[in-house]
Amino acid sequence: MNNCLRVLRAGRGWSQQDLAERLAVSRQSVNAIETGRYDPSLPLAFRIADLFGAPIEEIFLRD
């Protein structure tokens, strides 16, 4: 699944570690989501969407 998480994170000036701490996940998880190697669970996707104030559909895009 494609996503724009890296762009959103960079727009806030956050490192992967900063985002990981805000989401209560590891930095490696953030990296894996950003690079498309891992699709987040639905609860995690909702936490990401809430954190950035955007609908899930704007962050995670179908291939």
pLDDT digits (tens, 9 = 90+) for 22-39: 999 999 999 999 999 999
pLDDT single digits (tens) 41-57: 999 999 999 999 999 99
Query: Hey, what CATH topology would domain 2-61 get?
Result: 434 Repressor (Amino-terminal Domain) (1.10.260)
User: Rounded to an integer, what distance in angstroms lies between the CA atom of residue 18 and that of residue 12?
Assistant: 10
Please state, in angstroms and rounded to a whole number, the distance separating the CA atoms of residues 13 and 60: 20
Show me where the domains of the chain are located: 2-61
Q: How far apart are CA 44 and CA 16, in angstroms?
A: 15
Which pTM was predicted? 0.93
Count the neighbouring beta carbons within 10 Å of the beta carbon of residue 55. Answer: 9
Work out the pLDDT band at 62, boundaries 50, 70, 90.
confident
Rounded Cα distance, 19 and 50, in Å: 13
